[in-house]
A and B are shown apart, each in its own frame.
Chain A
């Protein structure tokens, strides 16, 4: 679904990401680890196509098509969705209108809004005065309305209090079609196999791993993807040794 090939990215003339290579297949969820400032958000922003990230070298392919230089909205229309880490406030634009924009004519069920405990926020301006957790719920609701095939999540658990983290985890599974349910008419293995949605999740704390069972993990260290593997294993290693261990690989 997504293929990143030899991607090198600069911000303000300074190289931030170097020679990034990885691939995400339909149905897979990948986790991106890395210390602060290592370039994780830069990678997601580049995949979304934001202007401040200059692609110095390399290619991005989505569903077999090269999108390296496609504008942001065309990527969104093709099925890439991003949860912003710090989304801006849009004054005077009520949430219910924003959800309509995301849904592009499709109907969004009110149950969804209720499930995310967001029905009381629908008349508020987008992100205006939202707490950390409310901001995340707003982002997830927008993505659920947008219904992208590749979901990019930038630290979905940051700023979320303990009571709400399960709700966030749950909703992310819904986004990624990972809430496999025994009550579904299809057997659970088929639900898993027929899953199409793919995800790339940045996590700093690793909390999200307790809710979302991801398939692969990658570590970005000083702008390079230095390590790949089982996400739990990578996280355990990072917790025990810190990112200092990455230095040994990076050299």
Chain B
């Protein structure tokens, strides 16, 4: 499958302004449904905070917890001079043509900050929504989890039913301070002709923990990203899980890169990819530059159709003796013995197959609070319903 490599300039920057919504209940049914599929609940009571951006407009933002701040990035930059120090620090502005484009244009996106020691264990929801067909949406997100604080974000990105094509350019810079913990779950659901180019980077300090989940189970023309996590402090931990399903005409090139730059840093990258006809390039890159770091990479792919491609690219780099790094990759079709096993328990072939696929995509993140896991499961299930 050869795909055209679109540029941001192929899309418009003009989008209508959307009015601020006090209550997300005023969104129409189609939009609500769409949001629910990416884990965003219009009933904001069950979330400790909500951020919703449509095209270039922040239409809702608010926090229900003391010590937790949620607002548009532009507003935050006006409010806090010091925020400039966080801007383009984790992601270099001249990284590639996409970052340069975002740097040169109006930047919206979310700013989320938890004050030191504040444990915001219930999820906060953030949603970046595209409603204008053909738009290049530029986003710049900044998340700061201060010392000893904790935060769980469910981040949904989607297009409305009006959109066929467009480009999502999302810069995200996450800062996890000393002994802080950030869990970030990102669910994507795009229009079929969308170009998606997120560029994100996370810096984790001493004793900090960053757990990341990424789920994309729908057709998208081209999704390309390679988020970077830098473990800068003693004992910093990163776990990254991704669950990808590529329907026909989809090209996904994703992965995670982790720099282990401090003693006792630990990283784990797990990815599950399924193709029903599309292409997945599943990357993982671990770079250990300190002794006593530990890292593991696991990349499993399942081909459910005779066409399609899963290309696993696991890379390990140990720059010092004593860095302990390993990887495991396996790509193939469902073992017929597994299908027969479930059939012998009474399931027909189709149900047996979908049960195995669900299991394959069912990755549990170690260290997630149960309520959050349930929320994530709900979102994944809603997302799955439409492809199985």
Q: B123-131, B315-323, B341-349: which one contacts chain A?
A: B341-349
- Which 4 A-B pairs give the minimum distances between C-beta atoms? A92-B359, A92-B362, A93-B359, A72-B343
**Which chain B residues in 303-351 approach chain A with CB under 8 Å?**
335-338, 340-349
Q: Is A125 positioned at the interface, with any CB of B under 8 Å from its CB? A: yes
CB <8 Å contact, A101 and B346: yes
Assess the A101–B342 pair: CB atoms within 8 A. Answer: yes
Q: Does A84 contact B (CB under 8 A)?
A: yes
Which residues of A (165-206) have their CB < 8 Å from a CB of B?
Answer: none
Report B331-388 residues with CB < 8 Å from chain A CB.
335-338, 340-349, 352, 355-356, 358-363
Which of B's residues lie within 8 Å of A, judged by CB? 335-338, 340-349, 352, 355-356, 358-363
Closest A residue, CB atoms, query B300: A91
Q: Which single member of A77, A81, A90, A91 contacts B341 (CB below 8 Å)?
A: A90
Per the bound structure, the CA–CA distance linking A248 and B343 in Å amounts to 40
The answer to whether B336 touches A76, judged by C-beta atoms less than 8 angstroms apart, is: no
Chain B residue numbers with a CB within 8 Å of A72 are: 340, 343-344
Query: Which chain A positions have C-beta within 8 A of B358?
Result: 92-93
Q: Measured between C-beta atoms, what is the minimum distance from B328 to chain A in Å?
A: 13
Which of B340, B343, B345, B360 contacts A98, CB < 8 Å? B345
Residues on A facing B (Cβ under 8 Å): 48, 50-51, 71-73, 76-77, 81-82, 84, 87-88, 90-93, 98, 101-102, 104, 125, 142, 146
Bound Cα distance A48, B360 (Å): 26
**Chain A min CB distance to B241 (Å):** 12
Task: Decide: B356 and A73 in contact? CB cutoff 8 A.
Answer: no
Complex Cα gap A77–B355 (Å): 18
> Do A91 and B346 contact each other (CB < 8 Å), given the known contacts A50-B340, A72-B340?
no
Minimum CB distance partner of A78 in chain B? B346
In the bound complex, residues from chain B placing their C-beta under 8 Å from that of A48 are 344
Asked if B346 and A73 sit within 8 Å, CB to CB, the answer is yes
In the bound complex, residues from chain A placing their C-beta under 8 Å from that of B341 are 84, 87-88, 90
Chain B residues contacting A91 (CB-CB under 8 Å) are 359-360
The answer, among A51, A77, A92, A101, for a CB contact under 8 Å with B340, is: A51
Closest-by-CB residue of A relative to B356 is A90
CA gap between A245 and B190 in the complex, in Å: 70
Residues of A within 8 A of B361 (CB): 92
Residue of B nearest to A52 (CB): B336
Distance A142 CA – B344 CA, assembled complex (angstroms): 11
Q: Assess the B349–A71 pair: CB atoms within 8 A.
A: yes
Tell me whether A73 and B343 are in contact (CB under 8 A): yes
Min Cβ gap B83→A in Å is: 41
A102–B352 Cα distance when bound, in Å, is 12
A125-B359 in contact (CB<8A): yes
Whether A90 pairs with B342 at a CB distance below 8 angstroms is yes
Tell me the nearest residue of chain B to A89, going by C-beta. B338
Contacts of A87 in B (CB 8 A): 341
Complexed CA–CA distance, A104 and B347 (Å): 9
Query: Can you show 10 pairs from A to B with CB atoms below 8 A apart?
Result: A48-B344, A51-B340, A72-B344, A73-B348, A76-B343, A84-B344, A90-B356, A93-B358, A93-B359, A93-B362
Contact B349–A73 (Cβ < 8 Å): yes
13 extra interchain contacts, Cβ-Cβ under 8 A, other than A73-B348, A142-B345? A51-B336, A71-B343, A72-B340, A73-B347, A76-B343, A77-B346, A88-B337, A90-B359, A91-B360, A92-B363, A93-B358, A101-B345, A146-B346
Complex Cα–Cα for A51 and B348 (A)? 14
Partner of B347 from the list A82, A92, A101 (CB cut-off 8 Å) is A101
Residues on the A chain within 8 Å of B342, using CB: 90, 101
Specify the chain A residue showing the minimal Cβ separation from B335.
Answer: A88
Contacts of A71 in B (CB 8 A): 343, 348-349
- Most chain A CB within 10 A, of B347, B352, B358, is at B347
The answer on a CB contact under 8 Å between B345 and A76 is yes
Q: Report the bound CA distance from A4 to B344 in whole Å.
A: 19
Q: Is the CB of B356 within 8 A of A93?
A: yes
